Amino acid sequence: MSKPIIATTSLAGCFGCHMSILDIDERILDLIELVEFNKSPIDDIKTFTKKCDIGIIEGGCCNSENIHVLKTFRENCKILISLGECARTGGLPAMRNNKVTVKECLEEAYLNCVTVDDNPDNIIPNDEELPFILDKVYPCHEIVKIDYFLPGCAPRADLIWNALVALITGKPMDLPYEVVKYD
Amino acid sequence: MSPLINIFKKKSSTSNVQSIIDKYNKDQTRLMDILIDIQAEIGYISNESASLIANQLKISKVDVEQTLSFYHFFSQKETGKYTIYLNDSAVAEMMGRNEVAKAFEEAAGSKFGEVTKDGKIGLFNTSCIGMNDQEPAAIINGVIFTRITPYRAKEIIQDMKNGKAVNEMGLQSFGDGNNSSNYIQSMVSNNIRRKGPVIFSDYNLGKSIKKIVNMKPTDVIRDVKASNVRGRGGAGFPTGMKWEFCRNAAGDQRYIFCNADEGEPGTFKDRVILTELPKLIFEGMTVAGYAVGATEGILYLRYEYKYLQKYLEQVLEELKTANLLGTNIGGKNGFNFNIRIQFGAGAYVCGEESALIESAEGKRGEPRDRPPFPVEQGYLNKPTVVNNVETLCSVVKIITEGPNWYKSFGTKDSAGTKVLSISGDCMNPGIYEIEWGFNINDILKMVGANDVQAVQVGGPSGALIAPTEFDRILCYSDLSTGGSIIIFNSKRDLLKNVVLNFMDFFIEESCGSCVPCRCLTVLFREKLLKILKGNGVMQDIDDMISWGPTMLSNRCGLGHTAANPILTSIKNFRPLYESKIQQNKLFDSGFNLQEAIAECCEATGRQPIL
């Protein structure tokens, strides 16, 4: 049987969840024995080259590019996992939801913020190459179907490891209390 | 005109606030009354007022603010010289409430939730005000306006612009019965359509008092128990047993509460009983006081019925004069009982007895954890009986006519009669006192309802019943109800106009203490909106059903029943849901990229690229 194929991405996240994946330390050597990686920042494969078994999503969706990537993951992966609080709930970026408008966000970032020191024409970037900011930050399951959720900010490396091993081997997941943390 | 109904609101002044605080002896437990009076006199409760109250009552400012922010009719900002509270219940909408709202907005030049720029007119929505039989209705500076038309709304706003007093705004005529009495003078109608043998039968003032002064209190409880009368608020707890628990609980003082906080949309029976038979209610409270050994009674009255205050206070005076209240009642030494009126300030959850007690103590109306039950530790932690208006009225007749007489009405497990508040699509909305045991078909015939699609029994917290179940019987063991019956004909869009409205109601009225009641109700509504928008899938229906049992982990009845509009309509009207979902899809989040980026396109002046 060929090895299961994993893809990962970070949307509106901080890459902390990916750091936590790397926190499995030397077990990464075992992981490489168990699985093959496809599109992922870990191996720097930029686009899907084949259909995958497991897609791991870090971060929620704050712009149109996130939506596009997430939908591509859904099309190419049999199972999708929301990894961490931003993917599960929108997380920290979602603090702007229902509080400030997109306009206020952009104005604060590009016009009013104390660190803006060189924008004499008061330009808010509008190049057509840029993604569009969404009206609010969405958790992934409000965009596509998500099969599993792993909580934590970031989730413990042991939680990620246990979950992947359980998923790959089909054995029950080991979920000791210390491993499941929501903060 | 009651002095508490403010025709013209005065300017804020510290001396007014101080005199109100002094009027209630700086008593922490009278915080509700203090806030109500300030709201009425000044029009809002300012930050300074809150500080002064906290300082004088020797409580923290947060304590004042949490009560202040809990109730719908308290405001921390100015609400206008004229404040219009327009009912937004489902039946009000059926009767044209939205057109009336539009007329108010157009004429005033401002939106609901706002005050006009000149500070003159404030427009606000409010939950059911107990006028379902004469909608659309509004409370304007404490005066009730019923059957408002868009034309009438424009007239009212014009009168306001001309500075007319609210009570002079062209009332065509006063309502029937005591509504036209000097102390009420309201356009509200009673609409009593059917008088039954218990509540609306002949009443001889004081007859039960004359009888009980020659009975031992325990014998009074024995008779009440023997009658099998059960609580009329909806829960149906045996009244005699409640009284016995209270009598046997340890305590140096006991209290009798009459729960007149009927907030269940579609219920208005207490309004009519309070208008026509207040003495019967107060006599019932006095009997209860004698039976359990309480000397103080409190009528907890919803703020929406404040227009009855002056009248009810007058009735209490009359009863004192007749020696039916006060000291040595009925000539019996040591039989002392007094009643005061405690107003709420707009919160449905205060109909729950422990929330009602919290509110009467000046706090947020949050239900308590039980046990201890109010009969052991209720008002001010003393043993307390909370009975519904109708229950207390029934007790008087049970005492005068005997338990067996009472048991001769109704069914085996549900003795006596029930006063129903019937509204919606029927010829004769109003008050009907029937014996338990009527089925829904009997009722529809009685009220003149044709082409009926559904009947909501027991208000939003009850059940939405389909024609296949119209042979079900009104009684505690089948269709139990606090009295609200709302009829919908086949032209009504049940999901959009009824179920969604009821969910909005529960979201608004949840006290927010228990997580499922605070959050899951919102998620239920989101799912319903998704289905109504055409993005629903079968999983959405299954999800909602699976969430149902979680609601039972809430603390009180509101929380237990807050998803009933959706759960009972899925159960009884599943095809309505299934016809709106996408049969060919297993998943649809309902996310719309074009809508989600519209704001960004506008802010940056870009064209959307999808």
For residue B263, give both structure tokens.
């907030």
Total of domains in chain A: 1
- pLDDT for residue A144: 97
Q: A132 contacts in B (CB within 8 Å)?
A: 597, 600-601, 606, 608-609
Nearest-CB residue to B596 (from A126, A128, A135): A135
- Percentage of chain B beyond pLDDT 90 is 93
Minimal C-alpha gap between B581 and chain A (Å): 17
Q: Inform me whether the pLDDT recorded for B598 exceeds 70.
A: yes
DSSP symbols for B297-314: EEEEE-GGGGGGHHHHHH
| DSSP H helices in B181-216 | 207-212
Are B603 and A67 a contacting pair at CB < 8 A?
A: no
- Between CA A84 and CA A66 the distance in angstroms is 16
Please give the pLDDT value at position B173: 85
The reported pLDDT for the residue numbered B210 is 97
Inter-chain touch A132–B597, beta carbons under 8 Å? yes
pLDDT at B120 over 60: yes
The answer to whether the Cβ–Cβ distance between A101 and B603 falls below 8 Å is yes
> Which tens digit of pLDDT belongs to each residue from A154-165?
999 999 999 999
Judging contacts by C-beta atoms under 8 Å, the chain B residues touching residue A128 are: 606, 609
CA distance B97 to B283: 38
Q: Check if the beta carbon of residue B127 is closer than 8 Å to that of residue B73.
A: no
- Nearest C-alpha in B relative to A140: B589
Helices (H) and strands (E) in chain B, counts: 25, 15
pLDDT at position B170: 67
The residue with tokens 């209610």 is B281
- B143-148 long-range contacts (CB < 8 A, ≥24 apart) are B143/B5, B143/B167, B143/B186, B143/B307, B144/B186, B144/B187, B144/B188, B144/B307, B145/B187, B146/B187, B146/B188, B146/B189, B148/B86, B148/B100
Q: Is residue A100 part of a domain?
A: no
- Inter-axis angle of helices B521-532 and B538-547, to 10 degrees? 160
Tell me the C-alpha to C-alpha distance, in Å, between residue B586 and each of B535, B540, B547.
11, 10, 19
Contacts of B526 in chain A (CB under 8 A): none
Q: What is the mean pLDDT of residues B512-522?
A: 96
**For the residues A34-48, what does the mean pLDDT come to?**
94
Chain B nearest-CA distance from A127, in A, is 8
| Distance linking the first and last C-alpha atoms of chain A | 38
Q: How near does any CA of chain A get to the CA of B608, in Å? A: 8
Query: What Å distances lie between residue A1 and A4, A24, A35, B43, B154, CA to CA?
Result: 9, 25, 11, 76, 78
Interface probe with A: pick from B597, B600, B610, most Cβ of A within 10 Å? B600
Q: Is residue A123 part of a domain?
A: no
Digit-coded pLDDT (tens) for A45-89: 999 999 999 999 999 999 999 999 999 999 999 999 999 999 999
Is A1 a residue whose pLDDT tops 80?
no
Residue A26 domain flag:
yes
Asked if residue A111 belongs to a domain, the reply is no
User: At CA B434, angle to CA B428 and CA B438, rounded to 5?
Assistant: 95
CB–CB of B597 and A134 under 8 A?
yes
The C-alpha of A39 sits at a distance from chain B's nearest C-alpha, in angstroms, of: 23
Q: Is residue A102 part of a domain?
A: no
Segment B546-568, tens digit of pLDDT: 999 999 999 999 999 999 999 99
* pLDDT value for B8: 47
Strand partners, A77: A52
Q: Is residue A113 part of a domain?
A: no
Per-residue pLDDT tens digits for B33-70: 999 999 999 989 999 999 999 999 999 999 999 999 99
Q: Does residue B389 surpass a pLDDT of 70? A: yes
- The DSSP element (H or E) to which A106 belongs, if any, is helix A102-107
- Interval A161-179 mean pLDDT: 90
The answer on pLDDT for B219 being more than 60 is yes
pLDDT band at B4 (very low <50, low <70, confident <90, very high): very low
The range of the structural domain enclosing residue A80 comes to: 5-95+137-179
Prediction pTM value: 0.90
How far apart are the C-alpha atoms of A6 and A48, rounded to whole Å?
11
Q: Please check whether residue B579 touches A, CB under 8 A.
A: no
* CATH code (residue A38): 3.40.50.700
- Above 60 in pLDDT, residue B10? no
Q: Which two tokens stand for residue B51?
A: 């500080």
pLDDT band of residue B248 (cuts 50, 70, 90) is very high
Q: Which of A14-18, B155-159, B478-482 has the lowest mean pLDDT?
A: B478-482
A113-140 residue pLDDT tens: 999 888 889 999 999 999 999 999 999 9
- Pair of tokens at residue A50: 């084949």
Whether residues B589 and A103 touch (CB distance < 8 A) is answered with: no
- Summarised one tens digit per residue, pLDDT across range B412-442 is 889 999 999 999 999 999 999 999 999 999 9
Mark out chain A residues that contact chain B at CB-CB < 8 A: 64, 67, 101-103, 106, 124-126, 128, 132-136, 138, 141-145
Instruction: Kindly report, residue by residue over B77-113, the tens digit of the pLDDT.
Output: 999 999 999 999 999 999 999 999 999 999 999 999 9
List domains and CATH numbers for chain B. Answer: 14-70 (no CATH), 82-172 (3.40.30.10), 197-407 (3.40.50.11540), 417-492 (3.10.20.600), 495-578 (1.20.1440.230)
Q: What is the mean pLDDT of chain B?
A: 94
Q: Report yes or no on A106 lying in a domain.
A: no
Q: In what order do the strands lie in the sheet with B430-435?
A: B192-194, B430-435, B417-424, B484-489, B452-457, B463-465
Q: Among B88-97, B232-241, B388-397, B520-529, where is mean pLDDT lowest?
A: B232-241
Asked which of B38-42, B130-134, B312-316 is least confident by mean pLDDT, the reply is: B38-42
Question: H-helix or E-strand containing B159?
Answer: helix B150-161
Mind listing the pLDDT tens digit for each residue in B135-189?
999 999 999 999 999 999 999 999 999 999 998 886 668 999 999 999 999 999 9
Mean pLDDT of B584-594: 94
Distance CA A102, CA B78 (A): 31
Q: Across residues B465-473, what is the average pLDDT?
A: 96
Chain A interface test: which of B522, B539, B597, B609 (most A C-beta within 10 Å): B597
Q: How confident is the model at residue B1 (pLDDT cuts 50, 70, 90)?
A: very low
Which run of H or E residues covers position A149? strand A148-150
Question: What pLDDT is attached to residue B610?
Answer: 74
Is there a domain that residue A103 lies in?
Answer: no
* Whole-angstrom distance, CA of residue B284 vs CA of residue B288: 6
Measured in degrees and rounded to the nearest 5, phi and psi for residue B126 equal -150, 155
Tell me, letter by letter, the H, E, C secondary structure of B84-119: EEEECCHHHHHCCHHHHHHHHHHHHCCCCCEECCCC
